[in-house]
Amino acid sequence: MAAEKKVILVTGGSGLVGKGLQHVVEQDKRADETWVFLSSKEADLTKQDETQAIFEKHRPTHVIHLAAKVGGLYKNLNSNLDFFRDNMAINDNVLNTSYKTGVRKVISCLSTCIFPDKTTFPVDETMIHNGAPHQSNYGYAYAKRMLDVQSRAYHAQHGRNFTSVVPTNVYGPHDNFNLEDGHVLPGLMHKVYMAKKEGSPLTVWGTGKPLRQFIFSRDLAKLIIWVMREYEEADPIILSVGEEDEVTVKDAALAVAEAMNFKGEVIFDTTKSDGQTKKTASIVKLRRYLPNFKFTPMKEAMKYTCDWLEANYDTCRK
């Protein structure tokens, strides 16, 4: 019997994770899968009518929901209401339109910033709602938490296979390397690029002490595709490297400097906020499903990403 045809719509398809998915899908094409990568230029998902129109155009059977209003620590601090309202609108439109148009499976992308600020570590999938998130980005975090609530509710009330994944800090080609707006690794890469070009010291915001788990976008893409094809729980699943691969921001900065052959001075500006000191996430559940999944070594993936930035500096997001 022939496999049922899938049309997989990826919202946020032109971003970091979307581009990672495109790359992996190209390497592993399947006859029963048609992939549609949606960019923000094609539809404003905060608007219900535009969301409806794009679903009617592509008729997806599966949705990988990556689209979000995102930004780094300093942008979040100043715009919590905007992050909350825009993400709530996007998420409600995508999930409700998926329900109304008969989409069989939705995988929504959350973030480790949704976990409680005051908690024990490592955090796992059962702890998402156990307390308030960090106050620096509570608007974004609460909107992302509601994606978990919505997914479970569609499953409970309508029997829909809606679920969510929780990646840790993602990096890779096609990231947003904006110095004000970007996340920690792409921000560091851009800073090193500029410091190297100008012959100036590298200034890292904060003490460098916070710990982070970084996952290469193409590894994350492979795991999301596995979730789409194989994972059947409504409960979320954390997608990350293990605790043993957690690194400090300082070590990450020095690793970027090494990858880009930066020989100058590195200064830590302790007048700047650190954000959360740690967000360690457990991958016990992931390892139960995929005990043998091999992550790309960070040094290799970081070198690849830094080389990509240098080769594409003029045209990349920054």
List the catalytic residues. 140
Of 202, 205, 293, the C-alpha closest to 255 is: 202
Phi then psi dihedrals of residue 31, to 5 deg: -65, -30
Q: Which helix (H) or strand (E) holds 204?
A: strand 202-205
CA separation for the pair 276, 215 (Å, rounded): 18
CA separation for the pair 187, 160 (Å, rounded): 38
CA separation for the pair 242, 122 (Å, rounded): 10
Of 125, 101, 296, the C-alpha closest to 217 is: 296
Residue with tokens 């010291």: 201
Of 49, 50, 51, 35, the C-alpha closest to 98 is: 51
3-state secondary structure of 257: helix
Strands 247-248 and 211-212: antiparallel
Both tokens of residue 87? Answer: 């993400």
Dihedral of CA atoms 124, 66, 70, 85 in degrees, nearest 10, equals -90
171 beta partners: 216
> For the chain, percent helix, then strand, then coil, each to nearest 5?
45, 15, 40
Buried b (16+ CB within 10 A) or exposed e, 36-56: bbbeeebbebbeeeebbebbe
